Amino acid sequence: MKQKKSLCSCKDMPVSGAVTGLCIGQVWLFESLEPPELEALVTAAVRKVYAAGEAIFAQADPADRMFLLKAGRVRLSKLLEDGTEFTLDIRKAGDFLGENMLSEEGTYPVSAWCMEETLTCGFSKERFETLVVGHPRIGLQVMKNLSKRISSLSSRIESMSLTHLGDRLYQVLRTMAMEHGVKSKDGLVIQFPLTHEDLAFLVGAHRVSVTRALKELKRAGSIVQHKRQLLVRSA
């Protein structure tokens, strides 16, 4: 059930980018809540603006916040023991972050860096627990929605293992280009750099295999690389 727009005050926050109309009460985690529960959810949410280059949270920080990205763009990265950092994903306005707060892991497994000025709307762990005490059904519905999400992700992982790596890589790049790229007469351009290590993480394959698959896509004309940019042509 959708939340009434009048309850959402994010649109009044001073940010340079466009603010998504999606409300915290409309994200998958809170699906199927009743109007009074949604109202309590939106009223209790905390809004914050981050500058470009600022970290919303760092890898190994206590996982004590979860939130909806209302405006801006965020890069999720993983730092390995040897100091190498890989990009795992890029999130845009309308995406949800920080579900780790609901687990027993205790810390964030990745870092979240703002690629531009970013507005978030969400909860600290303490505030959310207080909200659930007052509205127990919120906690019950969140557990049900998490269970559905896990089942869906498991199915996606199974299908990925059966897909040709070149096709999988193209689909990952195509999706990223559609979400974050710039239109050109030949297709969609990803203007930020992606290393072969980044792509390996994104498709769940070895870097050498990804390099080979990327060469195949370039030979087929599906992907065109110009310096640090990638042009993704329509299938």
Q: Say if residue 145 is in the same domain as residue 186.
A: no
Q: Say if residue 155 is in the same domain as residue 194.
A: no
Q: What is the pLDDT of residues 165-181, one digit of tens each?
A: 888 888 888 888 887 78
Q: Which one has a higher pLDDT value, 162 or 43?
A: 43
Query: What is the average per-residue pLDDT within 198-205?
Result: 79
pLDDT of 119 over the 90 cut: yes
Q: Say if residue 94 is in the same domain as residue 9.
A: yes
Beta bridge partners of 114: 74
**Structural domain span for residue 228:** 163-232
pLDDT of 90 over the 90 cut: no
Q: Say if residue 170 is in the same domain as residue 138.
A: no
Q: Say if residue 42 is in the same domain as residue 153.
A: yes
Q: Say if residue 39 is in the same domain as residue 64.
A: yes
Q: Say if residue 27 is in the same domain as residue 139.
A: yes
Query: What is the average per-residue pLDDT within 65-77?
Result: 92
| Residue 157 confidence (pLDDT) | 60
Q: Say if residue 37 is in the same domain as residue 113.
A: yes
Percent residues over pLDDT 70 in the chain: 91
Q: Say if residue 176 is in the same domain as residue 147.
A: no
Looking at 144, 159, 174, the residue that finishes a domain is 159
Q: What is the pLDDT of residues 32-57, one digit of tens each?
A: 888 899 889 988 999 999 999 999 99
> Hey, what are 118's tokens?
């970013």
pLDDT of 159 over the 60 cut: no
pLDDT of 80 over the 80 cut: yes
Q: Say if residue 153 is in the same domain as residue 167.
A: no
| Residue 152 confidence (pLDDT) | 59
| Residue 1 confidence (pLDDT) | 38
| Residue 235 confidence (pLDDT) | 63
Q: How many domains does the chain have?
A: 2
Q: Say if residue 173 is in the same domain as residue 68.
A: no
pLDDT of 136 over the 90 cut: yes
Q: What is the band of 234 on the pLDDT scale with cuts at 50, 70, 90?
A: confident
pTM of the entire predicted model: 0.68
pLDDT of 23 over the 90 cut: no
Q: Say if residue 55 is in the same domain as residue 115.
A: yes
Looking at 128, 159, 190, the residue that finishes a domain is 159
What is the distance between the alpha carbons of residues 91 and 115, in angstroms, rounded to a whole number? 10
pLDDT mean across residues, the chain: 85
Query: What is the average per-residue pLDDT within 103-132?
Result: 90
